[in-house]
Structure 1
Amino acid sequence: MKRSPKDNEDSARRISRRAALLGGAQLVFAGVLVLRMRSLQLGQSEEFRLLAEENRINIRLLPPARGVIYDRAGAVLATNVQNYRIVLVREDAGEPREALERLAQIIALTPEDIERAEREIMRHRPFVPVTIADQLNWEEVARVAANAPAMPGVTPEVGWTRFYPFGAEFAHSVGYVGPVSERDLEERENPDPLLMIPRFQIGKIGVEREYEDTLRGSAGHRRIEVNAVGREMRELDRQEGDPGSNVRLTLDRQLQAFALARLGEDSASAVVMEVQTGNVLALASAPSFDPNLFVRGISVADYAGLRDDDHRPMSNKTVQGAYPPGSTFKMVTALAAFEAGLATPDERVFCPGYLEAAGRRFHCWNRGGHGRVNLTSALSESCDVYFYDLSQRVGIDRINAMAERLGLGIRYDLPLSGISSGLNPSREWKRDRRGADWVIGDTINASIGQGFVLATPLQLAVMTCRLATNRAIMPRLIHAIDDIEQPIPDQPPLGLTPAVLAQVQRGMYEASNSNRGTAYGSRIVEASLRMAGKTGSSQVFSITAAERAAGVRRQDQLPWNRRDHALFVCYAPDVDPRYAVSVVVEHGGGGSSVAAPIARDIILAAQNGGLPPLEAYPTPQRNRIETMIRTISEQIGPPATPDNGRSRA
């Protein structure tokens, strides 16, 4: 049917209106798009530029140089040396086995090294560089570099590694570094991102561990361009980190070396302190070990040898070893009695060789007895019965209080690993730990440093400093950080009665200088260098009644691990003292025959600022001493340099 002109006109009008509406909607939509694009390009352009930048640029951390550790005179004890290593990138090298076998023709790689390296390579993505060998010397690196065109994907690199120039001398005090372990990360609440870097090394024991945050420094970074799969394309910029702080210790390298050499092959320890400042000058624990072995990656055989040695070379005996102090404890018992007014220094006690109490017989080391002795002779000759008698009057409470006053039973806050607090027993301690009441026999045993009493060589040195000064001397190991000297701890007066303390000091002097003194054989004849000291021998196993009736065997007739510990403490000079020394020789036997000669030599070395002066010894001993000093002098050499040994992946 044919439409009229009017209908056609109405239809055209409707179409035009719809077209206008549709066109307007399109214009609005286009306007919104334009505005949004403008917002994205201008208002939010920086945000999206950064997002795009992060997709193609990675930031990698750069480990800082670790702080250097020095002795008090500036000798380097721990430093950083160049470490040449070889890395391999699998995607560039091709078949790992073939690449490793080619490399083995240039540097020494055993079949075991190749197997281990291949496993390491296959654990990582193809473009990740894997260290095949490190601690290389320059000749090895040069050979690899010269053959680089024939070995794609194999690259020599240079970095830094820790080195200890004096090896075993400071292994227990300075410590060593090693790769970060899972345990290291678990011990930290918010680990430094540096610790996530593969093969990053941190302190494991000693000052290296306790001052880890100070020595580590802060990371630098480098910006690198990477492709879509994360492969490094080029370095854009680099900012080096801040190196760790340098740490200067109070230890004296020459004295430390002499003390360790003088201990020889014994399982023993020696501590040297300045009595006025508390500065620790030597912490010698023998036998020792080379910390550089751990930095390179110690072998299974080497580690087993250290672990299974009955002399425990990996233990720092100066602070970890807790021993019955034996007769070196007798000054504590004496001062407890005299300060309480329960005895006087001139009072005499008869020693028949034993004392009977609580239905038991407590023996003196001298089975024949010492006769009538006072404080001076009891300390000089180390009469046990005298102190048994004092202990029954004074009681364990006062002995415990005096021991604490003199520095025993305290865990000192030094940057060393595994510090022991020893044991200063009390009634409460026995009730809580042993579930039993304290008895008189416990007090008698404690009075001569046996029974439950335990002390570390460091604690015995602190006790000796306090006896020499009548002040609460505290040990100090950190001298300065980045040349900023650290404060000396407070040293308040102990408040001991001067006249009483003088009598105790006199007894220690007589022990070393009277011809009846237990340390007379180790006396110093030079008047300005003379020492005051006290011997000690502590039993490891109790002597049974049957053994005593059959006759106690000599120490050299017993198995090594059943012999007494030998101890000696001393300070010198006896007038205006400067140094204190404690020596403990595990299962050494007698303190007078074993520990005292060692302590004398060490305290003479401290006073002389080098090797002991020969004229300080009694004339009959000088030929033997001269030979000993010459042997030790030859052992104390210059600092070592990094060797050519290396470890592999």
Structure 2
Amino acid sequence: MRSHRNARDQQASGRRLTRRAALLGGAQLSFMGLLGWRMRHLQVDQADEFRMLAEENRINIRLIPPSRGEIFDRNGAAIASNEPAYRITIVREDAGDVDAVLTRLSQLIDLDPADIERAKAEMDRSAPFLPITLAERVSWEDVSKIAVNTPALPGITPDVGLSRFYPLAKDFAHVVGYVGPVSDYDLSKIEDPDQLLRIPRFQIGKVGLEARMEDELRGSAGTRRVEVNAVGRVMRELDRQEGQPGANLQLTTDVMLQNYVQARLGDESAAAVVIDTTNGDLLAVGSAPSFDPNLFVRGISVSDYRALTQNNHRPLAAKSVQGIYPPGSTFKMVVALAGLDEGLITPEETFWCGGYLEVANRRFHCWKRGGHGHVNMAQSLRESCDVYYYELASRVGIEKVSAMANRLGLGIRHDLPLSAVAAGLAPTKAWKKEVRGEDWLIGDTVNASIGQGFVLASPLQLAVMTARVATGRSVTPRLIKSIDGVEQPSGSGESLGLNPTHLNYVRDGMYEVSNSRKGTGYSSRIIAETMRMAGKSGTSQVRNITAAERAAGVTSNDDLPWERRDHALWVDFAPFDDPKIAVAVVVEHGGGGSSVAAPIARDITLQALYNGDPPLDAYPAKDRDRIAEQQDRLRALRPDLGQDSKSRA
């Protein structure tokens, strides 16, 4: 019985094992089937998606900075160029002990402590595998020292790139400006910044033409595909696509004339503009004193920057376009044309000048204490009689005077790719009410008639005004001649619609200023018959003269502190019979326009007309010895361009 029972138990146990094995085998088979299906799904159905993800993890796209567009003068002379420059970089993760490596490097080459601190700060906020610039524009000798000592300098690499260079240094600083590394402030001003701007120490235009034409000069980035490892370090470059270099700009300015203008202005706090009356080309735009823009590219020192900002002559200011001054008597052509255009006066009509005009119980004095007597329009310009214009402006009214000023280019911001181009001011009754909350007074009109009071103009605007008087057209200043060889629109302008006879009356008066013995600019005349100029002097006050001082005798400019002296101004066009250029010169606190600004403007005018040093017989005999010495001195300051300096296109 027991044996039969054991057999039955064994059979039941075997059946249970078989069922368990079947269940386990079925479960295993189901799992393997599911695993196989999942593998197929991943490898076949989703293969493309995972291949793309893997490629993105393995391949990075890096930007290649484009070469910046270069800037040339009208004849092809380089004004802003790119030059290869060696720099030293450090990669933190390769260096290991950064401080130890920097100490060893400092024993080999001179490193600015400020550069080291800046580089450390950049390393702290950058990925450890990114190269950080330690020093720029290092010498080949320093590069050689580093190459020889490479084993002792882990993470240190000499590199070469392009750096901005201004070969003419101070001559074009206020026109071209300069570049510098992108700052957080720069990025904050741009709504959607180009990714190029996020490259460490990438340089952009900061002021002047470099800043205003940044988009054209910058170009577009290239790309390179690089293979990186899991931590993002570059293993190898797979391919590269170069970017589009920035556009090259050709300016209307002439290098040699610009150099002469800067040298002739010298150490004065002054500005000068030369404009081609035929097409509006700005042949020279000078501002003195100037500065070397290369200092900013390389990183200006605190002491150098302090010297610029603390100089009371303001070398960083582009006075030719940013500076606005009371135009003084150079404004008298505006008032004269306004009176003629309104038919309120004839050129022969005279006003009596007894030395002052009393308006609203206030005396407005003429510069000539005893007065000029009976004065017509030509005499008023020639001898710069103030009372004549007090009377005339009172007839015309400020609205008509301001309208004529706008017509001639004053009180208007001219569209030039320069920093902070000033609009100046041709005031009206509405302007005073809106800005000052006061009613216009007749005394305001009297002050404005001689370019004082609220009237303000830049040297650029005065040059434009003179060009428009000379031609009768709305000559518009042009600074860029071509972009990548594409000629830009001319600024010759359309007719102003002024009566040619009226313009001739004013031009004749300006001619007498320079060529009549009674003219305020006679001592700075041009002798050469075919080059005669027509001009107008101006002297604008920067202080009030009290009745007591006037009674005792007005204090001479020479006896006043520099900052209280009058501004000296002069405008002219030449040749008189066929105007080719117009010139405006302002000398801050220079004193008299005819004695200080006129000689500078005459010399610049001749230099432009002769396209180089004029013959001495173009000058009055009394000036020739001085001019000969001056030409020798200024000639030594000219840049060597390796070309004929008289090759203006």
Q: Which moved more, 1:434-443 or 1:111-120?
A: 111-120
AA matched with 1:582 = A
The 3-state SS of whatever aligns with 1:319 is coil
Give the equivalent residue in structure 2 for 1:193: 195
Separation of aligned partners in 2, 1:14 and 1:193 = 72
Match of 1:136?
138
What secondary structure, in the 3-state scheme, does the structure 1 residue paired with 2:451 have? coil
Within the alignment, does 1:604 sit opposite 2:606 as a pair? yes
Q: What letter corresponds to residue 381 of structure 1 in structure 2?
A: E
Q: 1:414 maps to which residue?
A: 416
1:592 to 1:73, Cα distance in 2 relative to 1, 3 A: same
- Compute the TM-score of the two structures, normalised by the length of structure 2: 0.94
| Counterparts of 1:527 and 1:622, CA distance in 2 | 17
The answer to whether the Cα contact below 8 Å between 1:75 and 1:253 also exists between their aligned partners in 2 is: yes
Provide the C-alpha distance between the structure 2 equivalents of 1:316 and 1:109, rounded to a whole number of angstroms.
Answer: 34
- Identify if the C-alpha distance between structure 1 residues 122 and 340 changes in structure 2 by more than 3 Å, giving closer, same or farther: closer
Counterpart for residue 77 of structure 1: 79
Partner residue in 1 for 2:358: 356
Amino acid across the alignment from 1:254: M
Query: What is the aligned partner in structure 1 of residue 338 from structure 2?
Result: 336
Tell me what 1:463 maps to.
Answer: 465
Query: How big is the shift at 1:20?
Result: 8.2
Kindly indicate whether the alpha-carbon contact (under 8 Å) linking 2:325 and 2:456 is maintained by their aligned counterparts in 1.
Answer: yes
CA shift digits 1:461-494 (9 cap, x unpaired): 1101100111111111111011111122471210
Q: Closer, same or farther in 2 for the Cα pair 1:9/1:345, shift >3 Å?
A: farther
Equivalent residue runs for 1:145-156 within 5 Å:
145-156=147-158
Cα 1:32–1:486 shift into 2, 3 Å: farther
How much has 1:368 moved relative to structure 2?
Answer: 1.1
**Aligned amino acid, residue 586 of structure 2:** V
What corresponds to 2:221 in structure 1? 219
Give the distance between the partners of 2:384 and 2:522, measured in 1 at CA: 12
Q: What is the match of residue 323 of structure 2?
A: 321
Change (3 A) 1:376 1:196: same
Residues 88 and 427 (structure 1), Cα distance of their counterparts in 2 relative to 1, 3 Å cut: same
The 3-state SS of whatever aligns with 1:289 is coil
CA displacement at 1:10 relative to structure 2: 12
Q: 1:450 deviation in Å?
A: 0.4
| Structure 1 residues 113 and 77: CA distance shift in structure 2, 3 A | closer
Which shows bigger deviation, 38-47 or 482-491?
A: 38-47
Distance 1:508 1:355 in 2: 24
The partner residue of 1:432 within 434, 456, 460 is: 434
**Alpha-carbon distance in structure 2 between the residues aligned to 1:203 and 1:626:** 40
Confirm or deny: 8 A CA contact 1:97 1:114 kept in the other structure.
Answer: no
- How far does residue 176 in structure 1 lie from its aligned partner after superposition? 0.4
In the alignment, the residues of structure 1 paired with residue 463 and residue 216 of structure 2 have an alpha-carbon distance, to the nearest angstrom, of 28
Shift of 1:114: 5.1
Gaps of at least 5 residues in structure 2 are 643-649
2:208 to 181, 195, 206: 206
Corresponding residue number in structure 2 for 1:288: 290
Query: Which one of 480, 483, 486 corresponds to residue 481 of structure 1?
Result: 483
Shift of 1:237: 2.3
Return the letter of the residue paired with 1:156. P
Please tell me whether the aligned partners of residues 143 and 158 of structure 2 are also in contact (alpha carbons under 8 angstroms).
Answer: yes
- Aligned equivalent of 1:629: 631
Q: 2:497 aligns with which of 495, 498, 504?
A: 495
How far residue 121 of structure 1 moved from its aligned partner, in angstroms, is 4.5
Using a 3 Å threshold, how does the CA distance of structure 1 residues 491 and 18 change in structure 2: closer, same or farther? farther
CA contact (8 A) 2:77 2:255 kept: yes
1:363-402 mapped onto 2 (5 Å cutoff):
363-402=365-404
Distance 1:53 1:328, change over 3 A: same
In structure 2, the CA distance between the partners of 1:536 and 1:46, relative to structure 1 (3 Å rule), is: same
Q: Measure how far apart 1:19 and its partner are.
A: 8.8
1:180 and 1:628 mapped to 2: Cα distance? 43
CA distance, structure 2, for counterparts of residue 499 and residue 125 of structure 1: 74
- Give structure 1 stretches of 5+ with no counterpart: 641-649
Q: 1:264 aligns with which of 263, 266, 283?
A: 266
SS at match of 2:287: strand
Tell me if the contact between 2:280 and 2:492 (Cα under 8 Å) persists in the aligned partners: no
Give the number of equivalent residue pairs.
Answer: 640
Partners of 2:363 and 2:520 in 1: CA distance: 24
Match of 2:647 in 1: none
**Would you say the 8 A contact 1:604–1:613 is kept in 2?**
no
Aligned partners of 1:571 and 1:578 also within 8 Å? yes
Give me the TM-score of the superposition, normalised by structure 1: 0.94
Kept in 2: contact 1:365–1:384 (CA 8 A):
yes
Tell me: CA distance 1:582–1:37, structure 2 relative to 1, closer, same or farther (3 Å). Answer: same
Instruction: Say what the alpha-carbon RMSD is for the aligned residues.
Output: 2.5
C-alpha contact 2:77 2:641 (8 A) present in aligned 1: no
The amino acid across from 1:510 in the alignment is E
Distance in 2 (alpha carbons) for counterparts of 1:26 and 1:118: 60
